A and B are shown apart, each in its own frame.
Chain A
Amino acid sequence: MKKPRIGVFKFTSCDGCQLTILNMEEEFLELLAFFDIGYFREAADKPLRGQFDIALVEGSITTDLQRKEIIDIRERSRYLITIGACATSGGLQALRNWASIIDFKKNVYPSPAFIETFSTSAPISEYVYPNYELWGCPIDKPSLIEVLTSYLINKKPGLPRYSLCIECKGRGIPCLLISKAAPCLGPITMAGCGVICPSLDRPCYGCFGPREDANIESLGRQFEKIGINKKEFAQLLDKMNTYAFRKAKTEQGRAAQK
């Protein structure tokens, strides 16, 4: 059987999620036994040619050139998988979606006119259809391996969509929200990171984005009881998955009106 051909692509991002591929280290060499890496600019000097069985896409879309490129990548690829918070929900850069981009450019560059960029940082799904979305800032290595192996044996990846609390309870970690009155986003955040923050005595800060049917309003009320006001709560949500959390909150509000 011919080895499936993988392409790795980057848009507006920090390189961290594609680094996860190289961070497989010894497993990376095994990966090469099952897949053909057709394009991976960060690690290989190889021109972009032909079709891909799997496109792994990092980063959000913030320029017109990127918009054209993602359409081209979609056309070349059977399966398009977004990797990480930027590609899946616009990333930290999506904070610009709620601000004036003109002010930002002036703040950063002496001659803002040279800088070509959209006023928004949007997830890949705003432009083309992704077959699968991997959440996380950064993505979790075992989850990436799960997705790639699932492709080989033609099954659906078995990744959680439930809240971080489920995993936290499973690990027997005392609840930071209840025992320490710490503003933990665990109840509304998707599991998948391996509960790293609560296990280091740090409240979850939402790297993996909102879980399905996240009750954001309710957590906000709970936070008020521990002295976190509405503005502070909003800032806690406005991080790497600001776009997805705001969207989930709006949808929740809309559902409540019905």
Chain B
Amino acid sequence: MRKIIKTDYLSRVEGEGGIYVEIKDSKIVKLQLNIFEAPRFFESFLVGRHYNDAPDFTARICGICPVAYLMSSVHAIEKIFDAKIDEPIRQLRRLLYASEWLSSHALHVYLLHGPDFYGIESAWADKNYIEIAKRGLAFKNLGNRITSVIGGRSIHPVSVKIGGFYMAPDKKDLTGFLPELEKAFEDSLAGIKWASSIRFNVFETEMEYISLSHQCEYPMNEGKVISNKGIDLSMERFLDAVQEYQVSYSSSLHSGIKMGKTLSPYLTGPVARVNLNHDRLPEEILEVIKESGVKLPIKNLQMSIIARSIEISYAIYELLRTIKNYEKPEKPYAEFELRSGKAAWITEAPRGMLIHAYDLDEKGCIKKCTIIPPTSQNLFHIERSVYEFVQSNIAKPADYLKSECEKIIRSYDPCISCSTHVVRV
């Protein structure tokens, strides 16, 4: 008996991809996550360009998380130049990043993922859900406005440069947000409770989850790379441990962790971060997690909506903290001397680890660059989850499997546009 599960275009995800599963005699004979987002050639465009173009160009990889691209690129290049970044600039970067986490997670939780649990086609398809969506729209709006104050606009902000910022905001431009942030923090705790009250299908998978880890902070811009299965590496060493590979049905390269001669899938993103770093979360948030009955580590990927809701709270908490402590830097950027060299850097984009590596010549021109977005890293894991789910529910009707597979994929918050352009040089 033959059964086909096929979705030509996945909806409520960023970018263009589909899924194809073929079942014969109760066995999966073919499973493909088709990525047909048209290929883009960012790494090639950057060869021969000035290092200053790296943040602006790579931000155009993704309109949802441009700040992540700005951050990974400036850190990697500053490492080559050995630029010393002062604490106020470091804090302003964290503030900017937290504002993007807030708007990006709010978009996914309330507009893209949430509707799955209510059986509706979109966030505005049901009057009752619109009331829930409004909370998300308010978070998103708040995050976007803070990004705009620092970056000039929320999509492809313009103020970030190697060494710091073209201009830093005045403290009074930021403190105006405090009352609204206080209220939003309360709402976000309600958001964690709401997400935890969703009834999830039981589907737990064995997995290796990987994230940055920092001595005293919940990770964003800095740290080493750790996993629940013993990985403990510097950013550069981690890049050596990952291998990218190409499959014929995808314009995105996949990646996995080298295990002897084979590759093993891993998970990056909010679930990995919460699982590995929850001890860095503030007490107020941990209490609500406990009250809501959420068991950590999260093993069911559909519950990523809870992890994202936790990080919405944390982003607001960090925005409050960094704005209260903000001191406008005397000079918005650090000086440095040009030098040739190579470096890699990883920051935690809303969707997970975003790896950038650059090789510059003595004039500061890019000789080579490598960008590995979170979704490329997750693709292998997504395929594995879909495989396990279908295999363990093989007798169920194709329509049911199709909609459940779509939900599994959506729970990763895949950014297919981002993933389609990776390079291994």
Residues of A within 8 A of B (CB): 10-17, 19-20, 22-23, 25-26, 28-29, 32, 37, 40-46, 62-63, 65-66, 91-93, 95-96, 99, 103-105, 107-111, 114-115, 117, 137-138, 193-194, 196-197, 199-202, 205, 207, 235, 239-240
Instruction: Choose one: B40, B47, B56; the contact of A93 (CB below 8 Å).
Output: B40
A38 to chain B, nearest CB (A): 11
Chain A residues with CB below 8 A from B44, complex form: 96, 99, 103-104, 107-108
Contact B38 A63 (CB under 8 A): yes
Segment of B79-87, B199-207, B415-423 in the binding face: B415-423
Instruction: Choose one: B36, B42, B63, B141; the contact of A25 (CB below 8 Å).
Output: B141
Contact B12 A42 (CB under 8 A): yes
10 closest residue pairs by CB, A with B: A16-B63, A44-B122, A196-B152, A202-B166, A45-B11, A14-B63, A25-B141, A12-B38, A138-B155, A104-B44
A12 to B60, CA, bound (A): 11
Instruction: Choose one: A15, A104, A202; the contact of B63 (CB below 8 Å).
Output: A15
Contact B246 A111 (CB under 8 A): yes
CB-nearest residue of chain A to B137: A25
CB-nearest residue of chain B to A42: B14
Contact B43 A108 (CB under 8 A): yes
Contact A46 B159 (CB under 8 A): no
Chain A residues with CB below 8 A from B253, complex form: 109
Interface of B is mostly: loop
A115 to B252, CA, bound (A): 10
Chain B residues with CB below 8 A from A91, complex form: 60
Contact B422 A137 (CB under 8 A): no
Segment of B123-131, B230-238, B280-288 in the binding face: B123-131
A93 to B154, CA, bound (A): 22
State whether A15 and B425 are in contact (beta carbons under 8 Å apart), knowing that A28-B137, A43-B122 are contacts in the complex.
no
Known: A44-B122, A108-B44, A239-B56. 17 other contacts (CB 8 A): A14-B60, A23-B144, A23-B154, A37-B122, A42-B11, A45-B115, A91-B60, A92-B57, A96-B41, A96-B44, A96-B45, A104-B44, A108-B43, A138-B63, A200-B158, A202-B161, A239-B57
B15, B153, B245, B415 interface centre (most CB from chain A within 10 Å): B153
B245 to chain A, nearest CB (A): 8
B226 to chain A, nearest CB (A): 29
Contact A200 B15 (CB under 8 A): no
Chain B residues with CB below 8 A from A200, complex form: 152, 158-159, 166-167
A60 to chain B, nearest CB (A): 9
A17 to B66, CA, bound (A): 13
Chain B residues with CB below 8 A from A93, complex form: 40-41
A234 to B347, CA, bound (A): 32
A19 to B156, CA, bound (A): 12
A105 to B50, CA, bound (A): 22
B151 to chain A, nearest CB (A): 8
Does B89 reach chain A (CB closer than 8 Å)? no
Q: Which of B46-79 contact A (CB under 8 A)?
A: 47, 49-50, 53, 56-57, 60-64, 66
Contact B61 A108 (CB under 8 A): no
Contact B41 A107 (CB under 8 A): yes
State whether A138 and B156 are in contact (beta carbons under 8 Å apart), knowing that A15-B62, A99-B44 are contacts in the complex.
yes
